[in-house]
């Protein structure tokens, strides 16, 4: 879903470490990159916390300090592991946490380290005539990029109201 955001980050010269379970998807992403040397793949399941920690630490050793995290992480505990490791660098860094629409109304309590600036990006829906639909991947990518560029503490892509109009 955030592949386009990763590609954009490499276009503006970020080294990007992408966490995911599928080596095939990672290879496909690297093939699309203008500079494949800016991509570093961490093949790991977010639920395997010890391997996640090991891979993030390894990435920092190999690629340097992390200054920006864009996360659509299904597990709060996994994101807190990443936050802790990144914060141990004693650098100021930025977290853009992408969240589903339900979390706007009933959010979790993510611990945000003091050296981290946190932004929430909520994914809503689109109403077209009498129908509503979820955002497309392209709309999500465009909205996340805009949110990063504008650097707001909270962004909504699409709409969240009226809640009862959310697609099934």
Are the C-beta atoms of residues 143 and 121 closer than 8 Å to each other? yes
Per-residue exposure over 57-68, b if at least 16 CB sit within 10 Å of its own CB, e if not: eebbeeeeebee
Residue 92 zone, left/alpha/beta (φ > 0; ψ -120 to 50; rest)? beta
| Phi, psi dihedrals of residue 44, rounded to the nearest 5° | -160, 145
Q: In this structure, are strands 125-128 and 131-134 parallel, antiparallel, or unpaired?
A: antiparallel
What does R_g of the chain's alpha carbons equal in angstroms? 16
Structure confidence at residue 116 (pLDDT): 94
The CATH number for 88's domain is 3.40.50.720
Domain count, the chain: 1
pTM score, whole prediction: 0.90
* Domain ranges, residue 121: 3-165
> Using CA atoms in the order 51, 57, 62, 66, what is the torsion angle rounded to 10 degrees?
120
pLDDT of residue 99: 93
pLDDT of residue 56: 93
Q: 120 falls in which pLDDT band (50, 70, 90)? A: very high
Instruction: Say what the pLDDT of residue 85 is.
Output: 93
Q: Which two structure tokens, joined as six digits, stand for 80?
A: 């807190």
Report the pLDDT value the prediction gives residue 168, as an integer from 0 to 100: 82
What's the whole-number average pLDDT of the chain? 90
Q: Give yes or no for residue 90 having a pLDDT over 80.
A: no
Main-chain dihedrals φ then ψ at residue 28, nearest 5 degrees: -65, -40
Give me the mean pLDDT over the 67-77 stretch. 87
Cβ contact 112:140 at 8 Å: no
CA distance 96 to 147: 9
- What digits encode the pLDDT tens for the residues 124-156? 999 999 999 999 999 999 999 999 999 999 999
Given a cut of 80, whether residue 108 has pLDDT beyond it is no
pLDDT in tens, 10-47: 999 888 888 888 788 888 888 888 888 888 888 888 88
């Amino acid at each position: 879903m955030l592949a386009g955001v990763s590609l954009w980050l490499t276009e503006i010269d970020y080294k990007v470490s992408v966490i995911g379970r599928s080596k095939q998807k990672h290879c496909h992403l690297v093939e699309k990159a203008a500079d494949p040397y800016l991509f570093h793949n961490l093949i790991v399941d977010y639920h395997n916390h010890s391997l996640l920690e090991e891979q993030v630490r390894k990435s920092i050793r190999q690629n340097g300090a992390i200054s920006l995290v864009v996360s659509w992480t299904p597990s709060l505990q996994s994101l807190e592991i990443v936050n802790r490791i990144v914060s141990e660098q004693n650098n100021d860094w930025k977290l853009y946490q992408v969240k589903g629409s339900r979390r706007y109304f009933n959010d979790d309590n993510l611990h945000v380290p003091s050296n981290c600036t946190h932004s929430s990006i909520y994914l809503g829906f689109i109403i077209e005539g009498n129908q509503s639909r979820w955002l497309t991947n392209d709309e999500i990518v465009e909205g996340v990029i805009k949110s990063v560029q504008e650097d707001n503490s909270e962004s909504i892509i699409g709409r969240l109201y009226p809640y009862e109009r959310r697609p099934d």
